[in-house]
Chain A
Amino acid sequence: MTKRLVADALMVLSAIFLPWWITAPLIVAGCMFMEAFYEGIMLAAIIDLIYGTTTLPHLTIAACLAFLAGPVLRERVRWYS
């Protein structure tokens, strides 16, 4: 739980202080490594609301796809230590 909270806080900070091309891979990584990473979608939606125009919210759609693909990838990818 603490790990997740720290990750969430870091991601919010990265959305505010770092360029989007650092935050976006972090959201994808969050979807990959964390169970039901809803925060990632919310963060992408906030970024789209701040910077996006009335066209499609690209980042939110990408986050949704990563969210859906995350569990599948997690199951199929084999990690070696």
Chain B
Amino acid sequence: MYKVGTLVILVVLVVVFAAPVRAAVAGGVMWAVEPLLAMSRATHNGISSFIQTFSSTRTLIAENTAIKRELDDLKMRLLDRNLLAEENAQLRELMGQTPVPSGVLGTVLSGPGFAPYDTLVVDAGKNVGIQEGDRVFIGENVIIGRVSAVYAYSSQVVLLSSPGEKSDVVLFGGTSSDSVVTAIGRGGGSFEILIPRDIVIATGTPVFALGTSRIIATVEGSEGNANDPFKKLLLRTPINPQSIRFVRIVSSRPPL
């Protein structure tokens, strides 16, 4: 009886995870589970706010000081950025290109740390026109993933930093000319790139997606030994994937 049951369940699993059936089954499961995931997210937010009320005053003062310092630093950078953005807009206007803000805002229902894979479940699906392959951003310029499955009211996003995920990127600011390389995801918001040992890239250098001005990650450091002609460049996404709460999903289809 036990053996027959095991065999039956194995057959069922093979059928469930087979490509043609999987999407339909996953759609049904997501339809049932999505409200529960939203409830779970709300509960987590409530619990973490409650726990924060018990933080010690000293910790809060230290955090406050650090945040103020960071804010001052960001204000300085923003001034520079605003000037550049203005100049960029003027140049685009001269060239006859007017940028139009686009995309759909999605709330993250669950993400890495909570889920066993480097994926996000977002509360935007077919109902708002999301399609498989759409790009996922944080803010305006940081690209973090692509939509891998779309359901009626939700969608699944694979992070570019998922283990084994490959992305073509451009490295600026090396000792040689700009290089186009492939970044391989290592999970948890980190990537690795194999580059010749002689190329020196400073920590904090942004790495862009090929053919765009979108940031994928920043350089964190490198590792390798003196006998190896190549070294591993370690990259990290600008934001910790576990703390992502909102994303912007942009269609990958060309505008009409």
Whether, in the assembled complex, B19 has its beta carbon less than 8 Å from a beta carbon of chain A, the answer is yes
Per the 8 Å Cβ criterion, residues 17-61 of A in contact with B are 17, 19-21, 24, 36, 38, 41-42, 45-54, 57-60
Asked whether, in the complex, the Cβ of B162 is within 8 Å of the Cβ of A64, the reply is no
Residue of B nearest to A21 (CB): B116
Asked whether, in the complex, the Cβ of A16 is within 8 Å of the Cβ of B40, the reply is yes
Task: For B89, list chain A residues within 8 Å (CB).
Answer: none
Asked whether, in the complex, the Cβ of B16 is within 8 Å of the Cβ of A49, the reply is yes
Whether, in the assembled complex, B119 has its beta carbon less than 8 Å from a beta carbon of chain A, the answer is yes
| B25 touches which of A24, A36, A47, A49 (Cβ 8 Å) | A49
On chain A, the number of residues with a Cβ less than 8 Å from chain B's Cβ atoms is 28
| A53 touches which of B33, B114, B117 (Cβ 8 Å) | B117
Complexed CA–CA distance, A34 and B117 (Å)? 27
Q: How far is the CB of A9 from chain B (nearest CB, A)?
A: 13
Asked whether, in the complex, the Cβ of A47 is within 8 Å of the Cβ of B2, the reply is no
Asked whether, in the complex, the Cβ of A19 is within 8 Å of the Cβ of B114, the reply is yes
Whether, in the assembled complex, B199 has its beta carbon less than 8 Å from a beta carbon of chain A, the answer is no
Residue of B nearest to A59 (CB): B116
Complexed CA–CA distance, A53 and B162 (Å)? 10
- Select the stretch in B3-11, B48-56, B99-107, B213-221 that faces chain A: B3-11
| A52 touches which of B36, B110, B113, B117 (Cβ 8 Å) | B117
Asked whether, in the complex, the Cβ of A51 is within 8 Å of the Cβ of B119, the reply is yes
Complexed CA–CA distance, A52 and B22 (Å)? 11
Asked whether, in the complex, the Cβ of A51 is within 8 Å of the Cβ of B121, the reply is yes
Task: For B116, list chain A residues within 8 Å (CB).
Answer: 20-21, 24, 47-48, 51-52, 58-59
Task: For B19, list chain A residues within 8 Å (CB).
Answer: 54
Per the 8 Å Cβ criterion, residues 1-60 of B in contact with A are 2, 5-6, 9-10, 13, 16-17, 19, 22, 25-26, 29-30, 33, 36-37, 39-40, 43
If A41-B9, A49-B16, A50-B26 touch, whether A17 touches B110 (CB-CB below 8 Å) is no
Per the 8 Å Cβ criterion, residues 193-219 of B in contact with A are none
Q: How far is the CB of B160 from chain A (nearest CB, A)?
A: 13
| B158 touches which of A53, A57, A58, A71 (Cβ 8 Å) | A53
List 19 additional contacts besides A20-B115, A50-B110, A54-B19; criterion CB under 8 Å: A16-B37, A17-B40, A21-B116, A36-B2, A36-B5, A42-B9, A45-B13, A46-B29, A47-B115, A47-B116, A48-B116, A49-B26, A49-B29, A49-B30, A50-B30, A51-B115, A52-B116, A57-B17, A60-B13
6 residue pairs, one from A and one from B, having the closest CB atoms: A51-B115, A20-B116, A49-B26, A16-B36, A19-B114, A17-B40
Q: A residues near B, CB below 8 A?
A: 16-17, 19-21, 24, 36, 38, 41-42, 45-54, 57-60, 64, 67-68, 71
> What are 13 contact pairs spanning A and B, CB under 8 A?
A16-B37, A16-B40, A21-B116, A41-B9, A46-B33, A47-B115, A51-B110, A52-B116, A53-B148, A53-B158, A58-B116, A67-B6, A68-B6
